[in-house]
Amino acid sequence: MKRNRRDHYIPRGYLQGFVDPTRRRVEKPLWYLDVPRGTWSEKSSREIGYRIGFYDYSGVEVEDAETIFIEFENKFPVLIRKLAPDKFAGWKEHLDFFLHYMQMMRARSLRFFEEQHERNKSLRGWIVEEVIDERTVKVRSLEAQPLPESFITNRALSEMCDEIRKGPAWLKEFNWALRYCESPLSPFVISEQPVVVIGPHQQLIDSVKDECSLLFFPLCWQACLIGSRQFFDVETSGFGEHDMQLMRKMYMDSAKFVVSPTKLATEGV
């Protein structure tokens, strides 16, 4: 298992879906907005959405986290290329896979990892210094102590993998629609957190139970899945320019960075 790799929490194959078709041969075809600075730059998929050694376990040899991702990552871009020419008409046949992919993207995100990592900091335990025999150990202190950083990180990574293995049962409780656009000049965009929940609550667990909440997951610059506890009158349709602007603003307002097929105006998006 290689360590200290460039681990992408946003898969490169997913990022390729946000490339303008006319820029496929450009060395750095993606437009990247640094939201705090308000500056755009051109980047390749290799340069976006990664941390060095992000999925490395500390001090133990376990299953490589990326072996859990690989099946999803290989299938997703092939499926998008197949559906895109017909405005994603057959998307419902593949909804189960898309929900599994969406669950993977949520669980491998920086936000999920950081939330689990922060929660694990409150755990306490006993550090074993010596195993005397099968029934006896020597501990550093009889009082429960904060756990080592390596344990906290490893546990967060294991929880990420477990969350992906659990599958998207909670997402299947929603009704789903697909909205598409036709020009990379007015596209769907993504941020470091591609799965976005909009609702009246701050916590995800509360938002997903509320009938007023909506879930958004762009499949590529051309299409976005939208989930709701309520039924959609129309399951597949295009989005008008006003709706597209609202979508882009929603991502820009909550992001550290935004990825787009084209350089967009940051006002009025």
Running along the chain, 269 residues long, what does each successive block of 10 average in pLDDT? Answer: 80 97 96 96 97 79 70 94 94 97 93 88 78 78 79 89 92 95 96 88 65 91 96 94 93 93 77
Question: What is the token pair recorded at 257?
Answer: 């960075």
Give the pLDDT of residue 21. 95
Judged by DSSP in three states, 204 sits in helix
DSSP class of residue 14 equals: H
User: Distance between CA atoms of 18 and 54, rounded to whole angstroms?
Assistant: 23
Specify the length of the chain in residues: 269
Buried b (16+ CB within 10 A) or exposed e, 142-174: eeeeebeeebbbbbbbebbbebbeeebeebeeb
Contacts of 16 (CB under 8 A, 6+ apart): 45, 77
Q: How many helices (H) and strands (E) does the chain have?
A: 7, 15
